[in-house]
């Protein structure tokens, strides 16, 4: 007979609607039986939408239920530590949403509590189980692109529009008291965990953080260097959520097939960088051979020598300076 892991859920926010909540019901060997929220009407409505048989306004009732083996904590980070300690004390396994807690001290307290209670503690970095990440890990292990020596990670995001900044969901994410940090703390941890999974633990980490746009209190740009697993690849990264939309001197021509883009008002002040084709990868992994243009907030970075003319010619087909 197949063993079933019976779940309780604390929190009814957005992350539970289309990802984690339904997954706990549909996964093989998993069953979601109870949901709890400090807002009774929210818990009741969530239970009705997702056909969960029991809902609670009191978290203690959920933790006392004998038919629950594990609890998924899907609340704001400022409650993760307290709830984890309560779940561990109830003898239930813990799955906590990322980021794990507000700071390293809270993380250590959570680990110690679960170790003392003899229950598992997981953080919801689900991307480790996605097929594409498993495939990448297999390719790297087999040195499909050779021995990996260096990694560069860059994630540039535009500054959220004022109406987006005013939403309650955005405001708590940029309040260090409730989230532990800014958007980097809330979102970039997925990428860092993926790098840890693919390449080994991050060591000798050094970084810089700043607030350049001034739209909220915590950092909006972070850069760092580190290495992976002892003598593994050296890495550097830059993450920003303060990129503007206007840099004088360039605009991107609309795609040939997009009438809507052609009708958009100008001038468009997006800056591009052209990438040369990658030829060292196996054919099954190779990118398109025609150089492409991607939006970047700086002037083009041309190749050297014989590559320069090709790069400029490719850019001229997609990008034009304002006339």
Give Cα 184 distance to the centre of its chain.
9
Domain hosting 144: range is 129-243
Clarify whether residues 229 and 136 are in a common domain: yes
Clarify whether residues 88 and 116 are in a common domain: yes
Clarify whether residues 201 and 91 are in a common domain: no
Structural domain total, the chain: 3
Clarify whether residues 37 and 96 are in a common domain: yes
Clarify whether residues 142 and 114 are in a common domain: no
Clarify whether residues 14 and 120 are in a common domain: yes
Query: Which residue, of 243, 262, 289, is where some domain finishes?
Result: 243
Clarify whether residues 176 and 103 are in a common domain: no
Query: Which residue, of 243, 267, 297, is where some domain finishes?
Result: 243
Per-residue buried b or exposed e for 159-195, using 16+ beta carbons within 10 Å of the residue's own CB: bbeeeeeeeeeeeebbbbeebbbbbbbbbbbeebbbb
pTM beyond cutoff 0.75: no
| DSSP alpha helix (H) spans, the chain | 14-18, 20-26, 40-49, 59-64, 80-89, 104-117, 131-141, 162-165, 168-173, 176-179, 183, 189-199, 259-262, 306-318
Question: What is the DSSP code (8-state) at residue 284?
Answer: G
Q: Which CATH number goes with the domain that contains 235?
A: 3.30.360.10
Tens of pLDDT along the chain (323 residues) come to: 678 999 999 999 888 998 889 999 999 999 999 999 999 999 999 999 999 999 999 999 999 999 999 999 999 999 999 999 999 999 999 999 999 999 999 999 999 999 999 999 999 998 999 999 999 999 999 999 899 999 999 998 888 877 777 767 678 888 889 988 888 888 899 999 999 999 999 999 999 999 998 888 899 999 999 999 888 999 999 999 988 643 333 343 444 444 444 444 433 333 333 333 333 334 433 333 333 333 333 333 434 444 444 444 444 443 333 44
């Amino acid at each position: 007979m197949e063993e079933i892991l019976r779940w309780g859920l604390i929190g009814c926010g957005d992350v539970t609607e289309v990802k984690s909540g339904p997954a706990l019901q549909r996964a093989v060997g998993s069953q979601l039986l109870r949901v709890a929220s400090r807002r009774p009407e929210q818990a009741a409505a969530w239970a009705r939408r997702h056909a969960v048989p029991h809902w609670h306004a009191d978290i203690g009732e959920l933790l006392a239920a004998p038919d629950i083996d594990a609890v998924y904590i899907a609340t704001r980070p400022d409650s993760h530590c307290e709830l984890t300690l309560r779940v561990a004390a109830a003898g239930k396994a813990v799955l906590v949403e990322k980021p794990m807690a507000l700071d390293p001290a809270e993380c250590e307290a959570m680990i110690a509590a679960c170790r003392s209670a003899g229950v598992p503690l997981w953080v919801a970095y689900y991307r480790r189980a996605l097929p594409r990440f498993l495939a990448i890990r297999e390719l790297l292990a087999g040195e499909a692109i050779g021995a990996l020596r260096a990694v560069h990670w860059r994630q540039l995001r535009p500054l959220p529009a004022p109406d987006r900044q005013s939403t309650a969901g955005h405001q708590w994410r940029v309040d260090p008291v409730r989230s532990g940090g800014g958007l980097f703390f809330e979102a970039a941890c997925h990428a860092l965990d993926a790098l840890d999974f693919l390449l080994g633990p991050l060591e000798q980490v050094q970084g810089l953080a700043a607030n350049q746009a001034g739209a909220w209190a915590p950092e909006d740009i972070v850069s760092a260097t580190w290495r992976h697993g002892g003598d593994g690849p050296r890495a550097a990264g830059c993450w920003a959520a303060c990129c503007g939309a206007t840099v004088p001197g360039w605009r991107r021509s609309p795609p040939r097939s997009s009438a809507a883009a052609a009708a958009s008002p100008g001038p468009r002040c997006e800056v591009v960088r052209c990438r040369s084709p990658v030829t060292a990868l196996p054919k099954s992994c190779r990118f398109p051979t025609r150089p492409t243009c991607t939006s970047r907030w700086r002037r083009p970075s041309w190749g050297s020598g014989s590559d320069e003319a090709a790069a400029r010619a490719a850019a001229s087909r997609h990008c034009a300076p304002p006339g």
